[in-house]
């Protein structure tokens, strides 16, 4: 059975996503973490150039979501309010970075 989210919901506080998977696992991930772990080439290159002690600062519109779009049956892309939209979050990756909900 391939893994896919049955539902992805933005929290009322709009700072985290709730993900319900088709195997009935529920997860939660903060938008800050989601943005930090953006898998696009630009963000990965940026991370490589940073020193290990660098603490990234995000502005409000970098950690707020405009929209979430599904890509085929394997991933979602997120359009952030600062316009950044090149990260493709494949489902197994999303599953790995999200936290288990108690």
Rule CB under 5 A: say whether 5 interacts with Zn ion. Answer: no
Site track for Zn ion across 63-102, x = CB under 5 A: ------------------------x---------------
Scanning 6-14, 22-30, 34-42, 56-64 for contacts with Zn ion by CB under 5 A, the matching segment is: 34-42
Q: Exposed e or buried b for every residue in 23-60, given b needs 16+ CB within 10 A?
A: eeeebbbebeebbebbeeeebeeeeeeeeeeeeeeeee
Closest to Zn ion by CB, 3 or 82: 82
Scanning 14-22, 43-51, 58-66, 74-82 for contacts with Zn ion by CB under 5 A, the matching segment is: 43-51
Of the residues 3, 10, 28, 43, which one makes contact with Zn ion according to CB under 5 A = 43
CA distances from residue 2 to 12, 49, 94 in whole angstroms, order as listed: 29, 35, 14
Name the phi and psi angles at 8, rounded to 5.
-125, 125
């Amino acid at each position: 059975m391939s893994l896919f989210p049955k539902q992805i919901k933005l929290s009322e506080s709009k700072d985290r996503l709730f993900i319900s998977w088709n195997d009935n696992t529920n997860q939660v991930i903060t938008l800050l973490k989601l943005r930090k772990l953006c898998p696009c080439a630009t963000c990965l290159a940026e991370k490589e150039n940073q020193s290990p002690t660098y603490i990234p600062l995000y502005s409000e519109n970098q950690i707020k979501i405009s929209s979430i779009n599904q890509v085929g049956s394997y991933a979602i892309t997120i359009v952030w309010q600062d316009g950044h939209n090149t990260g493709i979050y494949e489902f197994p990756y999303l599953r790995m970075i999200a936290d288990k909900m108690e």
